[in-house]
Amino acid sequence: MNLSLLLATYGTIFIAELVGDKNLYTISSLTVRFHIWPVFCGIALAFSVKMLAAVLLGQAIAGLPSALVTGMSAATFFATGLLIWMKRPEGAPRTRVEQRYWSRGLPVSFAAIFFSEWADVGQIAAATLAARYQAPLTVWLGATLALITKGILALTIGAGLCRRLPQNVLRYSALGLCFMMGILSLFKIEV
């Protein structure tokens, strides 16, 4: 495995994904709704699969119809917002079963990341690097590690907010943010 290519891929994808990326907001919002570990596992799996798709099918992903990509991203943000809205308010009695959080948190986190932002800068960069250097495993590993690092950053922000702000403030903020991202996705406005 080429270490310099791995590091170059990691740096390229990490910086490209940090600039104007909506997944940071999505992951932070998911942290408000679910425990950190199911969210982390869901996003890590989604990032891995998305980068695998980018590396293996880079040109095909970049060529998807713009309307399909826009619709998938918007629908994902709206669905995530609805899940946040349906969450019980802090005052309502909770049944805290750890398995429930895993059985819900992991698939919701996976879907929120997997079905949004296809053919973004990070995937196109990964596809280009894989095509250029003919090293799909190295590029996949570097790109996936970069996205997981970004996810950990977003999880940290979300967990910090959970400790400092009331649950209802976070709930309504997350709901508003998801709906705003859905609307922006529909109009292809970059944040």
Nearest-angstrom CA–CA distance, 157 and 53: 28
Contact predicate 85/151, CB 8 Å:
no
What per-residue confidence (pLDDT) applies to 67?
75
Residue that the structure tokens 């994808």 belong to: 13
Residues 6 or more apart whose CB falls under 8 angstroms from that of 4 comprise none
- Provide the token pair at 53: 């798709």
Tell me, what's the pLDDT at 59? 47
CA 178 – CA 173 distance, rounded (Å): 9
Query: Where does residue 28 fall: left (phi above 0), alpha (psi -120 to 50 degrees), or beta otherwise?
Result: alpha
Would you write out the chain's pLDDT as a tens digit for each of its 191 residues?
789 889 888 887 777 676 556 777 788 888 877 888 999 999 999 999 999 988 886 445 445 676 765 666 566 567 666 665 665 554 444 444 445 567 788 898 998 888 887 767 778 778 777 777 778 899 899 999 999 998 898 888 777 766 777 767 766 776 676 677 677 767 755 44
77-107 core/surface letters (b: 16 or more CB in 10 A; e: else): bbbbbebbeeeeeeeeeeeeeeeebbebbbe
Q: Where are the domains of the chain?
A: 3-186
The token pair that represents 2 in the structure block: 């080429």
pLDDT for the residue numbered 148: 93
CA 155 to chain centre: 11
Predicted pLDDT of residue 188: 59
